[in-house]
Structure 1
Amino acid sequence: MGDRGEDAHSAGLRAGLDKRPADVAAMFDRVARRYDLTNTVLSGGRDAAWRRATREALDPRPGQTILDVAAGTAVSTVELAAGGASAIACDFSQGMLRAGAARPVPKVAGDAMALPLADESVDGVVISFGLRNVADPDAALREFRRVTRPGGTLVVCEFSSPTWAPFRTVYTEYLMQALPRIARAVSSNPEAYVYLAESIRAWPDQAALAGRIQAAGWSDVAWRNLTGGVVALHRARRS
């Protein structure tokens, strides 16, 4: 797709934030080629720090198996494996997995709502900037619990609600106006970032997401704000 038009998939996603898995996967297929560069530019270079904070929240250990859901090009998976754990990249976008093919971690195609793993087969599940793109986030949270061993950990890294009201207003304006313009300069599918901006604005705040994680059966749910609440790290335990 060129920078001057919007294809049917992107238009459909923008209309009411439709999250049909096939459409979302197709959208990510089209942004895969320059996805990592675009993320770095749009986050002002904060994406690397957010990945480190996610790994620290999970605290993976050698001998553990970690599932990285919505892993994209597996940049986040490599970070999770840095401490010696076995980290598996899982994504439903074949294009994203292909774009990260050179990264030395196992990869598997899979939907967050129907993971291709056995019950209680991993020590931890991480999903970074992906839960809001799932058609049924609550079903995904229950699925994450299914595949996690008792005592295991869930970490959700996701855009959230800035805690300082004046900055929250500026941030919302950035999402809806500046972000799509910047994406046109660096992304292989800039119109997809209009949908992504809208999905961030529509996402529940920190407390509301914590409630949904708990309702899905997780225990000891807590969160930590990053970058003033632009991003929140939610952590929970599988009892």
Structure 2
Amino acid sequence: MTRGPYLQGIRSHAFHTDAVLPLLRKRWTPVKDIRHLFENIKSMKLANTAKTRVRVYSDDKREHFTDGVVFCPGQSPYVSFSHQEYLKWKWSDLITIDFLAELRDGSVRYSCSGPQNKSIELDQVVVVDPKDGPKVLGLLQRSPSGHAILEFAFNADVGLWQFKHERPDKDTPNYIRTVLGSLINMAESISEEELQARLLTPGNEEGWNKRMKVKREDALKELVGHHQRK
């Protein structure tokens, strides 16, 4: 940005060019380069907390948080927000769902939205981590309406939903189709290694499955043997 009408407009309003934030277009990466894409993504902990782990994409021009990879057919142009032709893969620990939490008869109830704006109860599905219970309850008690949209992530290691944060920017929870899609993604739990293997070795789907089966069997033998030697 060294010349042209845009720069003239900036100067005419007395803006300093160093204060101008550059905007970079999103760009697509060919599937064959997906390994290089993942090499540019690093996992790190936030400085203000020892528990929150984030992933950051960084190349020669861009540096930003990321929660996954978006796939599109062919050379489609980028479209903001949702797009039916896009497919997003996310790390399983970053898959979250926005539930409606509300106080009802002294207890917290959870639901999502369904057809014709009907509420779908999810109390039999959403079992919240007990350590998050008081936090959620306190938040709802402070809410004038007694309800709020809350974001949760499922921790497969303990089998419980863990509270992330409130979503004051939303007035409706996730739609049931989104909820089911997220649950399927959690169940499949495709790792970034498996994703790359299946994309870079098409037609060899069973190869990954067989190798992982052998590794699981070896891990079982090692753990059992170690336990028996104690």
Normalising by the residue count of structure 2, what TM-score does the alignment of the two structures yield?
A: 0.23
**Higher helix proportion (structure 1 or 2):** 1
For CA contacts below 8 A with separation 6 or more, give which structure has more relative contact order. Answer: 1
